[in-house]
Structure 1
Amino acid sequence: MRILFVTSECYPLVKTGGLADVSAALPPALARAGADVRLLLPGYPAVLKGLSDLAPVGDPIPDLPGMAGAAPRMLLGRMPDGTPAYALDAPALFGRPGNPYMGPDGRDWPDNAQRFAALAWAAAAFTAPAGLDPWWRPDVLHAHDWQAGLVPAYLRLRPDRFGGERRPGTVLTIHNIAYQGQFPPWTMGDIHLPSSAYAIDGVEYYGSVGYLKAGCYYADRLTTVSPTYSQEIQTDEQGAGLEGLLSVRADRLSGILNGVDYGVWDPARDPLLPAPYSAGDMGGKAVCKTALQEAFGLERAAARPLAAVVSRLTWHKGLDLVLEAAGGWVAAGGQLAVLGTGEPWMEQGFRQLAAWHPGSVGVRIGYDEGLSHRLQAGADLLLVPSRSEPCGLTQLYALKYGTLPLVRRTGGLADTVIDATPAAVNDGAATGFSFGAATVREIAFCLRRALALYRRPDRWQVIARHAMTRDFGWEAPAREYLELYRAAQTDAA
């Protein structure tokens, strides 16, 4: 089966969030399961620089949205791990430094509608009768998030240009329904869709053109990144306005849990750590904790439980709860190390917290991949109190590193962390801590439970070792996706 994986980012070339990690890890897992998978990426400078053996394929692409009078080329190369990857070489759209979605002023690029319509149009062009690549034609197009949401719409609404004798199947994965790609109605004049598509049974979304809505409406199959999240987005609370459509299409909506690339995230062979360790020999974790305390200016004290945050610093991530509960945590003997960037008021709040509690709270504003690994290894707890979380990857990394996640029960957090209730601890099933309501009272009580268990190091070690044995690799999700692709092919036939 030939699969075109259409994504706007992929680690290590370009990354703003978990989508990049999924785009890097799932295609190789699918390939190991027997699929022929190729990526399609925008031709950002980092992509063109990072792909090896780049060469043009096929003819220039005519009528690309946002490229009047120009016909960009498609290039084919290889990711650092060898996965074949196409890059849409359109410098006028993608030849920009920095963030793929925002300019230096922190605002969205004003032509994002055209930029990502062009990506979707180029993906659809692989299915044209002549084919974009004369040597390769996909059986399934797997689109990711709003940036690729128009892929299914083009195949359904432009049969005059795409699809050939047999339309390939389409799958859309919603990584976070909060980001939807909404643009003014006059965008319809730029993106080569018929005007009739601007309707409630189409791409219209509350008076705008909705790219994610288009994908949800026209894709043969829909997925989210955890089973619980697939149910949550069908509710008023978390559906972000798409709950009605998703409820109608519930029989085409699946929740497939994200996996972890253990080739990157494994404390036994992680080159970014000061010392390796494993479930069978956890001696190195103490070395990692001491190094982390030193790096964040914290008191070197093995007896003090160290909680970490590796996250965007936003209200959505529930980190205002951490700000309010941190004083009690420190008073009880805990430490806190924070790495992230986000809303200015929250960044300032964590800086002030560190100033109030020297030796107990350390904060780094920014993003550092190596430091994120060392936080996972050196901390005792990882705090993930999200108000909603489609899947979450940091808690999966924490489990592998023997750092117990403390999470709010929502989305993929509910699916992956088993709360250390007395029964779960006695049964040997516990892997972390969880709480329900997004309140300071709830997270503070959960922190007190964690502290009580930390003071019983024999039990804590048993739970940490068990957490490290949990398997959240990509092999099982890859098999689920292959079944879904076959279903999408049947739907399209």
Structure 2
Amino acid sequence: LQFRYTLLCHAACEAPLVLPLGGYTYGEKCLFLVNDWHAGLVSVLLAAKYRPFGVYKDARSILVIHNLAHQGVEPAATFKNLGLPSNWYGALEWVFPTWARTHALDTGEAVNILKGAIVTSDRILTVSKGYAWEITTVEGGYGLNQLLSSRRSVLTGITNGIHIAEWDPSSDEHIAFHYSAASLSGKVQCKTALQQELGFPIKPGCPLIGFIGRLDYQKGIDLIHWAIPELMEDDLQFVMLGSGDPLYEDWMRSAENTYRDKFRGWVGFSVPISHRITAGCDILLMPSRFEPCGLNQLYAMRYGTVPVVHATGGLRDTVENFNPYAGEGRGEGTGWTFSPLTKDCMLNALKTAIRTYRDHKSTWEGLMRRCMQKDFTWENAAIQYEQVFEWAFIDPPYIM
């Protein structure tokens, strides 16, 4: 894997100089957008192999971090395969702490490509403002927090956009009925159609909660596992779509047998089903331990499905906690955020959302409309990206 991405990075550095991309060569004054560790070697190569010889002195590189947990760490012996001068080993040097080593003779020495990219990139982007802060903390920095803190002046968070043509409740080909913020009647019909498809009793007034995502520790699936028995005591329906840890896949199948009229677990992934769950549910639950940006809450809001999320990363940035007393009593906010990440805290937020859905219909409708009116388009994100591109060329390039 390391070899493949090393080859990609070397090719990416040569391409603007020699290939007619779009009919002409870009030349030396260009911008490299470096995505995660997989392309991280591009920034290191520019600093180590090109700029010292006067090549790419007017080029810039911007590192985009989507998930800091993935860093491209390999044994130190693989450094010789990266095509870097030997005196650049320190830029990628990584030593695992004693507790993380495999045995007593393990020195913990490795190379970390993402570390090298953080050191040498001209600007650093990540996929939400909240995550840009979290990766500078001990809890969210995965060992790179001090390095990222030292580069805080060039670190920016920009929330991802969504494809509004693909995710549009007024024209979505995957859902049975269409609707918009101006006319919400189709959402009730989508809910009824989803209940029918899942084999639930048809109960338009019963809260329908959804979860879409990988079945793993990061997504907080263990909290849902422990909370389901208590949730199932209430008059509600819960549907989950996802795959991952076989333990939780088996649990979903078992829960479906235990709570036949209230729970459905769809093991696997299906784009059409994900659209129908997003359109048909009243509430989307996302108890992620960390979430650099998160897209499902953005899709949910686009479809008037109110998110209940753990207050972390992009979830905290994009979901505004509901305040019923704001706006001269009309209420403000687009969902519920909860913290700390515990089962009880999650249940409290869910129960508050369920009570609001049942007892305050006009308030809930206001929530839905505010969700649907939010602007999470790529056009909005692109304007912010262009600003960072401009900043990158204002400052001189990285030179060691």
Task: Give the structure-2-normalised TM-score.
Answer: 0.91
Match of 2:258 among 356, 367, 376: 356
How does 1:227-376 map onto structure 2 within 5 Å? 227-376=129-278
Match of 2:38 among 147, 156, 164: 147
In 1, distance between residues paired with 2:7 and 2:135? Answer: 28
Q: 1:203–1:214: 8 Å Cα contact kept in structure 2?
A: yes
**Partner residue, 2:74:** 183
Q: Displacement of 1:465 after TM fit?
A: 1.2
SS of corresponding position for 1:323: helix
**Partner residue, 1:430:** 333
Tell me, which stretches of 5 or more residues in structure 2 are unaligned?
Answer: 96-108
**Partner residue, 1:44:** none
Q: Which one is further off, 260-269 or 342-351?
A: 342-351
The reply to whether residue 117 of structure 1 matches residue 6 of structure 2 is yes
The one-letter amino acid paired with 1:475 is E
The alignment of Structure 1 onto Structure 2 pairs a total of residues equal to 379
In 2, distance between residues paired with 1:315 and 1:457? Answer: 35
Match of 1:193 among 84, 95, 115: 84
In 2, distance between residues paired with 1:218 and 1:131? Answer: 25
Q: 1:323–1:353: 8 Å Cα contact kept in structure 2?
A: no
In 2, distance between residues paired with 1:393 and 1:347? Answer: 22
Q: Displacement of 1:166 after TM fit?
A: 3.1
Match of 2:381 among 477, 483, 492: 477
Q: Displacement of 1:237 after TM fit?
A: 0.4
Q: 1:227–1:255: 8 Å Cα contact kept in structure 2?
A: yes
> Per-residue CA shift, 1:393-416, capped at 9, x if unaligned?
110110010000000101111111
The one-letter amino acid paired with 1:125 is E
The one-letter amino acid paired with 1:356 is T
Q: 2:307–2:335: 8 Å Cα contact kept in structure 1?
A: yes
CA distance 1:127–1:467, change in 2 (3 Å): same
SS of corresponding position for 1:453: helix
Q: Displacement of 1:161 after TM fit?
A: 9.7
**Partner residue, 1:172:** 63
The one-letter amino acid paired with 2:339 is G
SS of corresponding position for 2:132: helix
In 2, distance between residues paired with 1:427 and 1:154? Answer: 56
**Partner residue, 2:351:** 448
SS of corresponding position for 1:325: helix
The one-letter amino acid paired with 1:135 is Y
Q: 1:318–1:387: 8 Å Cα contact kept in structure 2?
A: yes
In 1, distance between residues paired with 2:54 and 2:130? Answer: 34
Q: Displacement of 1:294 after TM fit?
A: 2.2
Q: Which has the higher helix share?
A: 2
The one-letter amino acid paired with 2:199 is G
Q: 2:46–2:56: 8 Å Cα contact kept in structure 1?
A: no
Q: Displacement of 1:127 after TM fit?
A: 4.2
The one-letter amino acid paired with 2:48 is L
**Partner residue, 2:369:** 465
In 2, distance between residues paired with 1:162 and 1:330? Answer: 67
Q: Displacement of 1:299 after TM fit?
A: 1.9
The one-letter amino acid paired with 2:186 is G
In 2, distance between residues paired with 1:162 and 1:334? Answer: 67
Identical-pair percentage: 37
**Partner residue, 1:74:** none
CA distance 1:132–1:188, change in 2 (3 Å): farther
Q: Which one is further off, 329-338 or 168-177?
A: 329-338
Q: Displacement of 1:492 after TM fit?
A: 4.2
Q: Which one is further off, 292-301 or 220-229?
A: 292-301
Q: Displacement of 1:192 after TM fit?
A: 0.5
Q: 1:155–1:163: 8 Å Cα contact kept in structure 2?
A: no
Q: Displacement of 1:165 after TM fit?
A: 5.5
Q: 1:127–1:163: 8 Å Cα contact kept in structure 2?
A: no
Q: Displacement of 1:423 after TM fit?
A: 2.7
Q: Displacement of 1:295 after TM fit?
A: 2.4
In 2, distance between residues paired with 1:122 and 1:153? Answer: 14
Q: Displacement of 1:351 after TM fit?
A: 1.9
SS of corresponding position for 2:217: coil
In 1, distance between residues paired with 2:186 and 2:227? Answer: 30
**Partner residue, 1:204:** 93
SS of corresponding position for 2:192: helix
RMSD: 1.8
CA distance 1:428–1:160, change in 2 (3 Å): closer
SS of corresponding position for 2:315: helix
> Per-residue CA shift, 1:190-212, capped at 9, x if unaligned?
1211222221xx01122211121
SS of corresponding position for 1:262: coil
The one-letter amino acid paired with 1:448 is K
Q: 1:127–1:162: 8 Å Cα contact kept in structure 2?
A: no
Q: 2:194–2:280: 8 Å Cα contact kept in structure 1?
A: yes
SS of corresponding position for 1:288: helix
SS of corresponding position for 2:218: coil
Task: Give the structure-1-normalised TM-score.
Answer: 0.74
Q: Which one is further off, 180-189 or 229-238?
A: 180-189
The reply to whether residue 393 of structure 1 matches residue 295 of structure 2 is yes
In 2, distance between residues paired with 1:295 and 1:378? Answer: 11
